[in-house]
Every structure is written in structure tokens, then in C-alpha cells.
Structure 1
Amino acid sequence: MLLLGIDVGTSSIKVSVVDAQSQQAIASAQYPEDTENKVISVRAGYAEQDPDMWWEHTQLAIAKVLQHRAVRPEEITAIGIAYQMHGLVVIDEERNPLRNSIIWCDSRAVDLGEEAFQHIGNKKSLDRLLNSPGNFTAAKWAWVKQNEPAVYKKAYKIMLPGDFIALKLTGDATTSISALSEGVFWDFRSNSLSTDIMEYFGFDEGVFPELRPLFGEHGFLQSSVARKLNLKPGIPVTYKSGDQPNNALSLNVLRPGEVAATAGTSGVIFAVSDQLISDKESRINTFAHVNYTKEDIRTGVLLCINGTGILNSWVKQNMGQGLGYDEINKIAQSVPPGSEGLSILPFGNGAERIFNNRIIGSHFLNLDFNHHHRAHVFRAAQEGIAFAFRYGLDILRENGMNPSVIRAGIANMFQSELFTQIFANVTNTPVELYNNDGSIGAALGAGIGNHTFASPDEAFEKMKVHSTIVPQTDHPYEEFYSTWRELLLEKFMQIKK
């Protein structure tokens, strides 16, 4: 019995086929392989992608994975989908996108979200929504209403990126409590769509897809699509989740106190709680986890830093032409900790929640043209990203989340031994690494959703730790972090003025 998982990322679409018995991936593919999906930015602070591009690349990635000789397409019994969170997809009655998706790192709706926060009331918003509307999907939809009335009027449904891919597969538009909460449409006290959000923005509830359990049936593969993909018609889509809750699932982070991390384009620490937690300044955000129910609360307290792996990618593209990441990491190791005074603030990818949705920008500080060279930049970039994680983790700690260990998949920046060790040292927290990723998690989620596994615990009973990286006892990073933090706060205060 095989399970198909699709991960709709910002840079690419990844697909894995998992054998349910072994709980291991037997084949994986992604599209594109050697480049990254385009982010359209017509002006500073804007970030969009074409939903039809996601669908095209999903089909190409599935075609590639089905070419693997270990995969028998006729044995695929369920499909699961993970996706980049907070994006807005607007479709018409013919199920076609009316505009590009306004994706997670787009900053255009910050002011609208802040105005809603003040109107509804900070205390009420944090109590019922657990977040400020900030720059989430609700505020993006309000921007469309205000600036693109023709699109707003013609809209049949609004949805998240994963909902759109499921729609293309099945023809059905569905959503879940977790998805509505990540858009900041969900009232955790009434356990329903937020009347405060609906009334303040003047939204019509009819644009929301049908509410379904996250682990459950979200439609069946259409015959026409099945023929095109060389799959059986009628395969159910039985799981849909945002990428960060899904990453936590893939690492079996489901119980209160457990913590997961990712360091892809953005960086996230995701801590599970059995409480309705909110940060007084909404610097971290709380959403319904994949296993949330009204009766058994499981929330994901999410620290997000937009500018992490995207900085490492930018450095590679602009200063490491022709080099692979392994070569860059090796060159970075030739420089001592602290990068001989060079500090980098990685916040160059839109408004940052940990700074109250302000745009900080990336900064290279104390750069000496006569001494520093690209090796210093390679190392300072990884150190700056780790320092940003520490800054955010301290906010999580202020809110009662104190992880004794952080789990991560061996993917993106956690493939770098250098970065992972710096991360452990700077956060003073051991890191457990696993050979799982988002597409594998989505496949296992599908197995939970169609009852191949009796419970999430059963789906991960064969998962083993690949390695554990513990903080070194003699590292100098506390001093370097303090210096970096002072530089950061100096820039932040300038921006606040």
C-alpha cells in the first residue's frame, strides 16, 4: 500500500511516495530541480506566485516520481498535501484563478491588519483570534476588496495554496479549522468563523470552502486528471495542512511541549501547546495544529522569521556563483566563529512578525573591505540566521515555551553541519535530526486520514533519530549573539522612529 505526498513550497514542488508498511519514502522528486519558482514582486513589499504554475509543477513532479521503478501507481491509496501557509488564492465559478496568489511574505496588507487589530481591540483579538490580523490571509483578502473590486465581486471561493491543488485534483473546494485559523478567520472561543473579522471587513461567508476535518476526505481524484497523471481515478485526498504544522507532524511533534524547526526560505520554530496562547504583541502566532479539536486543544505556537534560508540562497547566487552549498559551507569553516566582526541581519524578505510587522531589511554591519572576503560573508550569513532564531526563541520562552530539544528534518539549512552546530550553540538547545521532510509528512498524513494508520502514533512508530547535535561547552557564541542583538536593536529603534 502506497501513499502520495505533495509539498507545495515557495521555491519548488516536492512529491514523495511512501510505503505504508515501512513508513519510508521509496521515491521522491521535485520540480523545478536546478532553479527556484519565480516570486513576482511588482513593487517593494509585494510577493506573488501564479497558482497555475503550482499546478503545472505539481503534475511534472508527480510524473517524475511515478517514473521510479519502485513505484506502482495502481497501489497508491491516498493523497496528502502540505503547502506554504497564509497565501490567498481567489477563484471564479469555473475554478480558475482570478489573480496571482498573494503569498505569505507579501507585506501590502500590514496596515489593514493593524487597523483591524485596533478596531476589534488588542485584548479581544488576542483572546479570540490568538493573533493580530496582521499580514495574514484575512488582511490580504481585505486588500483585494479595497483595491481590486472587480476581482472581489467575481470571486467564487477564496482558499489557501494547498486547497487550490486539492481543487485541481478533485474538483472540490474544502478547508479545515487549522486552515481558517492560519488565515486568522477562526474564533477559538466560539469555535466558528470570527464574526469580528467578518463584520469589520464586510466579508461574505459564502466565499469560504466547505469545512472538513483536516484528517479526512477532501474529495476524490477526477477521472480526467487521473488519466493525465497515470493514476487511478477516485484516489481520495485525505489530508491538507500548512507547511509548518505538517513539518511538525512529519517529526511526530504532536504533544504539548514538543518542538519542531525548519530553515527553508523562511525559518520557523513550532511549539505544541494544550493552551490558547497569545503573545501580548503578536510577535509569535498561534494556530490550530493538525490534531486540534474543540474538545482536545492542540495549538501550534509559531515563531516565523521571513529572512533565513533566502539570505543563504541570495549569498550563494550573488557571491558563490558556481559553488554548491557543500562547498560554501566548507569555505565558511575557514573563518573563525564571529566572522571576525562581520555581522549580518537577515531580515530582507518583507515585514517581520517578531518586529510588529515592520520591514527591517537586511544589513551587513562592520564590513571591512580590506579584510573581509566571501568566506566571512558565507559564515556571517549562517551565524546571522542562527542569531535570528535565538532572538525569536527568547520570545517563545517569554510565553512559557522552553524546549529541552528541537526536532528538525535533514533539509534546507539543517543539511549544513556548520549551521546546525551554530544553531545548537546559539540557542543552547540540542537538535535531533530526522530523515523526514514535508512531502513525506504529507504522505503519512494521508495514511492517517484514510485510516491506513489507526493513529498518528502508529504512523511514526518506525521513525528513528538520525543524529543529535548538542551545544558545545566551550563556544563563544553568547558574546557574539549579544553584540549582534545590540546592532539589531539599534537598527530596529531607528526604524521605529
Structure 2
Amino acid sequence: MLLLGIDIGTSSVKVSVVDAATQTAVAAAQYPDTESPIKSVQPGWAEQSPDMWWEQAQQAIQRCHTSGKYNPADIATIGIAYQMHGLVLVDKDQQVLRDSIIWCDSRAVQIGDKAFDEIGHGVCLSHFLNSPGNFTAAKLAWVKQNEPEVYNMIDKIMLPGDYIAMKLTGEVTTSASALSEGIFFDFLNNRLSETIINYFGFSPELFPEIRPVFAGHGNLLPSVAEQLGLKQGIPVAYKAGDQPNNALSLNVLKPGEVAATAGTSGVIYGVSDQLTYDPQSRVNTFAHVNYTEAQRRMGVLLCINGTGSLNRWVKSIFGSAISYGQMNDIAKQAPAGSDGLRVLPFGNGAERMLNNKLIGVHFHHIDLNLHQQPHLFRAVQEGIACAFRYGLDIMRENGMNPTLIRAGKANLFLSDLFTEAFVNATGVPVELYQNDGSVGAALGAGIGSGIFSSPEEAFSQIKSIQTIQPSTSVYEPVYQEWKALLERQLAVEQ
């Protein structure tokens, strides 16, 4: 039996077809080949077209079919992972009303901060486990304030994965996990938050029906099935944000287990059984994929916006003719610590762990007679590793003390240099897996449609491919100097 997973990323859409018996992909495809654009018509703004995601998803599925490695008619269920926090608005005919305001957009920071103060910090943290900050609720309030003609046409608001499921099935649903990442969910009352709705003046009718993450979210429309070469009526049986889904794909489901990823953004994601929160909302708590009212499983998420995005930017400016693998090899020519070159990697929107400040990327101590391309490439990866350490220390303040972090061998974790810098800066071993978000989404669909009896069965064959242990203290003084530079910059931003 085959499972289809769709991963709606910021850079591209990835799909995988997975054999349920072996829990491995028989085919995979990505679209487009180059990175998708982010529209930024004003500083701090970031938008993408939901119609672009849908077109890319269709193209990626068709590419997968052309591999000839399976019969599309054997696909029994569909799962979706998606970039978190994006706001999608549709009218009564399910037509998109405007481009999605995506996760790294910073325009609503002041709206969210004002709501935090006026609703009350204690109420927000105890009920939502977060400040409204720069999340989806504040973005919707921005549309209401600034684009009333658009707001008045809204029939339903949704997250990016809800939109793709709607295009596949014609049904509009959501989950507690999705609502929690938008700061629409009240954990103490286990329902859509009346406090947020009343404060911003939203109508409850704007919100889709709430279903479990692992559940039927509609069946494939006949017209879409014909277009995509799939069997009509198969269910969309799983939808989750990319970071909860990444944790699922690494079998991170129990309290104390921790996952990490370093793609466009960098994330450490730990599971807790407590309704925990950071008093400053520098790290955020959402409902994990296996959250229920009876058995609370919370995902505690540290996000750094500018990790892989910075690495890509540096490559495009200083190494456009080389591959990422060559870039990593060049970086190894510089010594650990990059001969004093330091990088603050914060140039992709307001950083939650820095109290939603926009401080930008900073290069420190450039010596024109010493520093060359290898130093630059290495210092960027070391700066990102230091940012992870800074964020992990915030998580430690809030009771999350990992002894092991699981990560997929992908993106920046393909770099031995970055992986070693991460491990030695944080002091925590990393266990690497051949995981993939679209494979995780496919297996999630297997759980949601009952093909697997439990997540444990769905990931019974997962095995690590490598474990990296801390091996040197050379990065401790590097980190302490980096931290001092960051704190000096944050003082300037006051």
C-alpha cells in the first residue's frame, strides 16, 4: 500500500510516495528546481502566493509519477506538511483574496505586542502559552486594520496546509495544532479562543471545523483525482506544520525527546507534557501532532529565522558558481573560530528569541589582510551554531534540557563542519537520520487513515545513520565572544 506525502516549503514543494510496508520512499520529487521567490514590497514584509503552492504541489506530484516506480492508483491516502504561521484568506467560492502573509513577515509585531499588554501577559501565557507576537492572529488583525475591503470578503481563514487540503478535497478543516500555532487556541479551555476573537473582533464563523491532526480532512475530489492521476475519494488524513511534522518524522513524540532542523530557518523542537511557556515568549509552545486534551503533548519550539537563508545569501554573493558541498569543503580550509571573524545571523525578519527585534546580519572583526572566502563561509556556519546555542540556553531556562538531539541529514546538517560546530557549541550529541518532511507527512497519513495502528508502528523501522558527540571545547570562548557581540547589538536596538 502506498502513501503520498506533500511538504509545502518556503523554497519549494517536495512530495514522496512511501511504501507502508517498508516505511521508505519509493519515489520523490521537488518543484521548482530553483528556490521560490518571497515577495517583500516593504522592509520586513514577506508574502507568497497560495496559488503558487498549489501549482507547485501539482507539478511535484506529476514529476513523482513520471519516475515510473509505482502505480499512482495504488496510493491510498495523502498527508500534508507545511510552512507554519502563514495566513491564507479565501472567499465563499474558495478563491484566494490576497497573497499569504508568511511566517517570517514582521509587519504585525506591534499589533501582537499591544494585544499582549492589553489582554494581559498572565492571561496570554496561561491560556495561549505565547504572546500573540507576530503570529497568524496578529497578521489577520493587520489585514482587518489595513485592508478592510479584503477582510470583509473573507469566508474562511486557514494555515497553508489547510489551503492545500481544501484544493484537494473542497473541504476546509483545521486542527488544535494549527490553531495553536496561530495563537487562536485556548489550552485551558481546549477550544478556539474567545479571548483572542473578542479582542480583535473576529467572527467565529471565519474559522474552519476543528479535527484531530491524524484524521480525515476530506476526500480527493473527482476532478482533482483525474488531473493528478490518483484514485478519487482517497482521504487527506494528516496535516501538520513543518516543525511538528519534522519531529514526527524523527519519531520525536514523547516528553523529553528533541528534534532539530536547519533549513531556511533553524529550529530546536522539544516535546513536553506540561502547559509550559517562556515568560518573554522567546521560545513558543504549540500543540504537538499527538496532542489531545486527555494526553497533552506540547511542542516547545525555538526558531531562528535566518539560518539556511543566510547560508544561501552568502553563497549567492560570494560563491554563486560553486555547489553547497564545495562551499562546505572551502569552509574547512579556515580554522575553528574563523580567525576571529564573527557573524550574527539575524537578517530574515523579527526574531522571536530576541523579543521580536529586527537586528539584521552583522559581520564583526573583518581583517582585510587575513580573512578570505573560507573564513567567511566558516564564520557563517559557526554564527548559526552559536545562535542555536543561545536559543537552547533559553529553552534550558524553561526546563528543556536535552541529552540528545535528533536531526535529519539534510540542509545545513549535510555540512560536517556545521554539525560539529552545533554539537560542540551546544554540548549536546546529535543523532542523524535519513528523514524527510514529505516522508513524514506520508507516514502521518498512514496513521490518520488507520493503515498504521499507532505512530510507534509507523516509525518502527527508523534507524539512525550517525551520532556525533561533543569533542572539543574550542567553541566555548567563540560562543562567549559571539554572545557579547549580540548583547551589545541588542542594547543598540533598545
Give the TM-score range, shorter chain.
over 0.9
How far does residue 424 in structure 1 lie from its aligned partner after superposition?
Answer: 0.6
Q: Which residue of 1 aligns with 2:234?
A: 235
Q: Which residue of 1 aligns with 2:12?
A: 12
Gaps of 5+ in 1: none
| Matched residue type, 2:82 | Y
Which residues in structure 2 correspond to 1:59-70 (within 5 Å)? 59-70=58-69
1:291 is the counterpart of 2:290: yes
| Matched residue type, 1:490 | R
1:302 is the counterpart of 2:310: no
How far does residue 388 in structure 1 lie from its aligned partner after superposition?
Answer: 0.2
> Using the alignment, how far apart are the partners of 1:380 and 1:28 within structure 2?
33
Q: Which residue of 1 aligns with 2:337?
A: 338
> Using the alignment, how far apart are the partners of 1:31 and 1:122 within structure 2?
42
- Comparing 67-76 with 390-399, greater Cα deviation is found at 67-76
> Using the alignment, how far apart are the partners of 2:67 and 2:470 within structure 1?
40
| Matched residue type, 2:6 | I
> Using the alignment, how far apart are the partners of 1:150 and 1:200 within structure 2?
20
Q: Which residue of 1 aligns with 2:457?
A: 458
> Using the alignment, how far apart are the partners of 2:461 and 2:4 within structure 1?
18
Which residues in structure 2 correspond to 1:440-479 (within 5 Å)? 440-472=439-471, 474-479=472-477
> Using the alignment, how far apart are the partners of 2:70 and 2:81 within structure 1?
21
User: What SS does structure 2 have at the residue aligned with 1:154?
Assistant: coil
How far does residue 368 in structure 1 lie from its aligned partner after superposition?
Answer: 1.4
User: What SS does structure 1 have at the residue aligned with 2:493?
Assistant: helix
> Using the alignment, how far apart are the partners of 1:480 and 1:145 within structure 2?
46
> Using the alignment, how far apart are the partners of 1:143 and 1:191 within structure 2?
26
Gaps of 5+ in 2: none
| Matched residue type, 2:188 | R
> Using the alignment, how far apart are the partners of 1:198 and 1:161 within structure 2?
20
> Using the alignment, how far apart are the partners of 1:77 and 1:193 within structure 2?
32
> Using the alignment, how far apart are the partners of 1:127 and 1:313 within structure 2?
38
1:194 is the counterpart of 2:193: yes
How far does residue 267 in structure 1 lie from its aligned partner after superposition?
Answer: 0.4
> Using the alignment, how far apart are the partners of 2:215 and 2:198 within structure 1?
30
> Using the alignment, how far apart are the partners of 2:67 and 2:473 within structure 1?
45
How far does residue 93 in structure 1 lie from its aligned partner after superposition?
Answer: 1.1
1:97 is the counterpart of 2:96: yes
1:41 is the counterpart of 2:40: yes
Q: Which residue of 2 aligns with 1:244?
A: 243
| Matched residue type, 1:133 | P
How far does residue 475 in structure 1 lie from its aligned partner after superposition?
Answer: 3.8
| Matched residue type, 1:489 | E
How far does residue 213 in structure 1 lie from its aligned partner after superposition?
Answer: 1.3
> Using the alignment, how far apart are the partners of 2:3 and 2:463 within structure 1?
20
Q: Which residue of 1 aligns with 2:423?
A: 424
User: What SS does structure 2 have at the residue aligned with 1:270?
Assistant: strand
| Matched residue type, 1:103 | I
1:218 is the counterpart of 2:235: no
Q: Which residue of 2 aligns with 1:386?
A: 385
> Using the alignment, how far apart are the partners of 1:330 and 1:204 within structure 2?
54
1:486 is the counterpart of 2:484: yes
How far does residue 417 in structure 1 lie from its aligned partner after superposition?
Answer: 1.2
| Matched residue type, 1:239 | Y
> Using the alignment, how far apart are the partners of 2:74 and 2:445 within structure 1?
14
User: What SS does structure 1 have at the residue aligned with 2:4?
Assistant: strand
Task: Using the aligned pairs only, state the percent identity.
Answer: 63
Q: Which residue of 2 aligns with 1:370?
A: 369
Q: Which residue of 2 aligns with 1:408?
A: 407
> Using the alignment, how far apart are the partners of 2:413 and 2:445 within structure 1?
25
- Comparing 60-69 with 243-252, greater Cα deviation is found at 60-69
How many residues align? The count is 494
> Using the alignment, how far apart are the partners of 2:234 and 2:366 within structure 1?
56
> Using the alignment, how far apart are the partners of 2:131 and 2:70 within structure 1?
45
How far does residue 410 in structure 1 lie from its aligned partner after superposition?
Answer: 1.2
Q: Which residue of 1 aligns with 2:436?
A: 437
Q: Which residue of 2 aligns with 1:279?
A: 278
| Matched residue type, 2:346 | F
Q: Deviations over 1:145-188 (max 9, x none)?
A: 00000000000101000111101000000000000000000000
Q: Deviations over 1:190-231 (max 9, x none)?
A: 111111101110000101111111101000111111111111
> Using the alignment, how far apart are the partners of 1:71 and 1:341 within structure 2?
53
> Using the alignment, how far apart are the partners of 1:418 and 1:312 within structure 2?
13
> Using the alignment, how far apart are the partners of 2:359 and 2:71 within structure 1?
49
How far does residue 235 in structure 1 lie from its aligned partner after superposition?
Answer: 1.1
Q: Which residue of 2 aligns with 1:137?
A: 136
Q: Which residue of 1 aligns with 2:24?
A: 24
Q: Which residue of 2 aligns with 1:126?
A: 125
> Using the alignment, how far apart are the partners of 1:351 and 1:224 within structure 2?
41
Q: Which residue of 2 aligns with 1:328?
A: 327
User: What SS does structure 2 have at the residue aligned with 1:146?
Assistant: helix
Q: Which residue of 1 aligns with 2:396?
A: 397
Q: Which residue of 2 aligns with 1:208?
A: 207
How far does residue 371 in structure 1 lie from its aligned partner after superposition?
Answer: 1.6
Q: Deviations over 1:356-402 (max 9, x none)?
A: 11111110111112221111110000000000000000000000100
> Using the alignment, how far apart are the partners of 2:349 and 2:46 within structure 1?
9
- Comparing 61-70 with 342-351, greater Cα deviation is found at 61-70
Provide the TM-score with structure 2 as the length reference: 0.99
Q: Deviations over 1:51-77 (max 9, x none)?
A: 000000000000001112222111100
Q: Which residue of 2 aligns with 1:183?
A: 182
Superposition RMSD in Å: 0.6
> Using the alignment, how far apart are the partners of 1:240 and 1:162 within structure 2?
6
Provide the TM-score with structure 1 as the length reference: 0.99
User: What SS does structure 1 have at the residue aligned with 2:157?
Assistant: strand
> Using the alignment, how far apart are the partners of 2:195 and 2:222 within structure 1?
41
| Matched residue type, 2:32 | P
1:74 is the counterpart of 2:73: yes
> Using the alignment, how far apart are the partners of 1:352 and 1:191 within structure 2?
28
Q: Deviations over 1:243-264 (max 9, x none)?
A: 0000000000000000000000
> Using the alignment, how far apart are the partners of 2:359 and 2:116 within structure 1?
21
> Using the alignment, how far apart are the partners of 1:72 and 1:387 within structure 2?
46
How far does residue 116 in structure 1 lie from its aligned partner after superposition?
Answer: 0.4
